[in-house]
Chain A
Amino acid sequence: MSFPVECKYTKNHEYLKPLGDGTAVIGITHYAQEALGDVVFVQLPEVGASFETGEEFGTVESVKTVSECYLPTAGEVVAINEELEAHPEYVNEDAYGKGWMFKIKLTGDINAELLDAAAYQAFVESESH
């Protein structure tokens, strides 16, 4: 499994994709969706809500389990993926594309402790054993 190089990752399997204009897209990784199984509901934050780095912003529910999600870097929610209400399976089908969860306006610099694609890949591989 390889991960998009333009993203940064957390050890809780969230990703952050900086768009270069002070905003970033947030979602959960392909590894996370595979571990969760069929996603049935995504609890998204409200537009306008602000979170600190590492703060819980919502949950992802699958048939078998629920997972809390934490914001990779501080920011304010500027848009959410409305499609996920009717199509939670987009998270399984295309975690980095149509399975995107919401967009934030960054508060300050991106959290320096996030993993790059190679480091996240190594982390995931070590988790699998």
Chain B
Amino acid sequence: MSDLKKTPLNAVHRALGAKMVDFGGWDMPVQYPTGIINEHHVVRTKVGLFDVSHMGEIRVKGPQAMAFLNWLTPNNVVTLKVNQIHYTGLLMENGAFVDDLLLHKISDEEFLLVVNASNVDKDFAWIQQHAAKWDVVVTNESDATGQVALQGPKSLEVLQPLMDINLADIKYYWFAFGNFKGMPVMIARTGYTGEDGFEVYCPADKTEWVWNELMESGKAHELAPTGLGCRNTLRLEAKMALYGHEIDDQITALEADLGWIVKLQKGEFLGSATLQGQKDNGVKRLLVGFRMAEKRDIARDGFPVVLNGEKVGHVTSAAPSPTCGYNLGLALVPVELSAIGTKISIEIRGKACEAEVVPTPFYKRAK
């Protein structure tokens, strides 16, 4: 237990009575006494506060930063505007993932990559290795940076009184710099829940203070601290990928149904040859959303998708859905079984259980 890494908010979570778990080597709250289902509903209807300080921040700076990242990643870094953010990945030659991440353009010569907690060291090494031939400097700022995420319809009301910039001017998937009660922070209108929200980036040693200020400001809006358990059910309903599940070093961007971040027309990038081939020939397997037919059947991560008694695919993530009210999940299936409406079988403890391929996302917030 003493080997687990801790965010600056570790003592705060424990004081709140959180149930702590090992998440990718970090000692993190899976839920508070409120419970996963309540926390999930709070995020969808009011506002929740997540500690995401374990995530990584990697800065790429230099005259060739834009060209380097445009070659290193599949999405279009040239058309990304200053203060804009896009979802993308670090891909390998095989078109599969080292990690997924959010790319923030500070200028044509400066970018911030926000990466998964479980992959920080791997990502940093990967970027550094590939940066060797380019005129850029890559720095890992993860340990020095704290991050909390306000997620839910009331997020703006909670954060605005503490900020000196007009948050309504920050559109979804854009960021800005401003002062949080006099302290410089970066505010990004992003999140992993499918709700409106703001991610606040601050110096690591100020994270506890930021958290406490947000908790205080949040009282009037029934803000609650929310853990990794509901974070998973929220992102699953919104059909957002989790590294190690929907994407990994064997699943390509096209197989993971992430063609929208693959901009083949921009020119060559790391992995483009494989992905062009998959686009031309069609993928053999595809990530789909499914819904279980019976309330008693709850699929779980890793369960096999079976056809005539043989395993033909697997569940990448699955759970009972608090907002949708049924048991759902994502699965990698043969492309022949990927059409909406196809009936598939998922084996649950030795029994083949019926499910149906359904459109995703399962949940979309009202505009």
The reply to whether chain A is a binding partner of chain B is yes
Q: Which residues of A contact B (CB under 8 A)?
A: 37-38, 40-41, 43, 59, 61, 63-66, 89, 92
B229 near A41 with CB under 8 A, answer no
Q: For chain B, which range describes its interface: under 10, 10 to 19, 20 to 34, or 35 or more residues?
A: 10 to 19
- Of all chain B residues, which has the CB nearest A89? B37
B296 near A41 with CB under 8 A, answer yes
Assess A63 versus B300: contact at CB under 8 Å? Given A37-B31, A40-B320, A41-B320: no
Q: Which residues of B contact A (CB under 8 A)?
A: 19, 30-31, 35-38, 229, 233, 295-296, 298, 300, 319-320, 322, 349
CB B244 to nearest CB in A, in angstroms, measures 16
Q: A16–B19 Cα gap in the complex (Å)?
A: 27
CB pairs A–B below 8 angstroms (29 shown): A37-B19, A37-B30, A37-B31, A37-B35, A37-B36, A37-B229, A38-B35, A38-B36, A38-B37, A40-B37, A40-B320, A41-B295, A43-B296, A61-B298, A61-B320, A63-B37, A63-B229, A63-B233, A63-B319, A63-B320, A63-B322, A64-B36, A64-B229, A64-B319, A65-B300, A66-B298, A66-B300, A89-B37, A92-B35
Q: A10–B169 Cα gap in the complex (Å)?
A: 59
Chain A residues in 8 Å Cβ range of B300: 65-66
Assess A64 versus B298: contact at CB under 8 Å? Given A37-B35, A92-B35: no
B37 near A41 with CB under 8 A, answer no
Nearest 9 interchain pairs by C-beta: A40-B320, A38-B37, A63-B36, A38-B35, A61-B298, A38-B36, A37-B36, A64-B229, A63-B320
Chain B residues in 8 Å Cβ range of A65: 300
Chain B residues in 8 Å Cβ range of A38: 35-38
Q: A43–B348 Cα gap in the complex (Å)?
A: 13
- Interface hub of B19, B38, B320 (most chain A Cβ within 10 A): B320
Q: A92–B34 Cα gap in the complex (Å)?
A: 12
Q: A41–B36 Cα gap in the complex (Å)?
A: 15
Chain A residues in 8 Å Cβ range of B229: 37, 63-64
- Of all chain A residues, which has the CB nearest B31? A37
